[in-house]
């Protein structure tokens, strides 16, 4: 559980490796008191970006090879990043920004890249149309309703069965949420569960079609 105030992370609750690492970083001397270049308030833990995936055919990449980012492209998945950072100084195209390299060297604090990322799977997100009281659901329990609209289904039908074309090929199995098991145990160290899923995907034994693998050959 994270507590945010005006776009700044103030508290992290819960057990497990990830929250413990985050709490440790939040205790670094000066990390809440220095002002990063081109920011107008002190502190490091500002919301940096949020991205929404739109492709229902993305499957979990093999994280053993540091292929992590592509999973955020899956429809309905949301990517969250935080940590103070800018890519370029004013009038310069150098990456990392020289002012951030100097800041990092001077204060011994993270600067050149925003540090923490999270991907959330079973999101529900609604937005209100400005100037009205009308709300639109962009994501419902990890899937965009737009994929099920008559207009999108009609377009997909030009290329085949819309049920197949628009189906979500990969739904992460999280014990205690949408799979058997205990979520508290899972949350302590999710990697063994994810590793098992990656191995099934990589060997063609996953529940749904993986377009990145050759067709399985029947040994019988």
- Same domain membership, residue 136 and residue 36: no
Last residue of a domain, one of 120, 153, 188: 120
- For residues 36 and 100, is the Cβ–Cβ distance under 8 A? yes
Q: What is the pLDDT along the chain (220 residues), one digit of tens a residue?
A: 889 999 999 999 988 788 899 999 999 999 999 999 999 999 999 999 999 999 999 888 877 777 777 888 999 999 999 999 888 999 989 999 999 999 999 999 998 887 788 899 999 999 999 999 999 999 999 999 999 999 999 999 999 999 999 999 888 889 999 889 999 888 888 888 888 888 887 777 776 655 545 454 444 4
Half-sphere exposure of 93 (CA within 13 A, CB side): 0
Has residue 214 been placed in a domain? no
Give residue 219's pLDDT.
40
Has residue 220 been placed in a domain? no
Distances (CA, A) of 120 to 57, 73, 135: 17, 12, 22
Give residue 216's pLDDT.
46
Last residue of a domain, one of 101, 120, 139: 120
Helices (H) and strands (E) in the chain, counts: 6, 7
């Amino acid at each position: 559980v994270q507590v945010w105030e005006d776009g700044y992370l103030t508290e992290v609750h819960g057990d497990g490796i990830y929250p413990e690492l985050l709490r440790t970083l939040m205790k670094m001397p000066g990390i809440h008191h220095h002002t990063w270049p081109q920011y107008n308030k002190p502190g490091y833990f500002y919301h940096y970006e949020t991205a929404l995936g739109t492709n229902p055919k993305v499957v979990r990449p093999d994280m053993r090879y540091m292929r992590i980012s592509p999973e955020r492209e899956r429809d309905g998945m949301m990517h969250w990043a935080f940590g103070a950072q800018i890519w370029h100084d004013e009038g310069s195209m150098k990456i990392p920004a020289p002012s951030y390299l100097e800041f990092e060297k001077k204060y011994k604090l993270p600067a050149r890249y925003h540090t923490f990322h999270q991907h959330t799977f079973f999101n529900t997100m609604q937005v209100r149309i400005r100037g009205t009281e009308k709300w639109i659901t962009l994501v419902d329990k990890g899937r965009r309703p737009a994929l099920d609209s008559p207009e999108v289904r009609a377009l997909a039908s030009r290329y085949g069965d819309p049920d197949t074309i628009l189906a979500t090929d990969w739904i992460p199995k999280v014990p205690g949420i949408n799979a058997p098991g205990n979520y508290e145990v899972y949350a302590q160290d999710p990697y063994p569960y994810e590793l098992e899923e990656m191995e099934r995907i990589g060997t063609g034994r996953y529940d749904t079609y993986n377009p990145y693998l050759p067709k399985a050959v029947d040994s019988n």
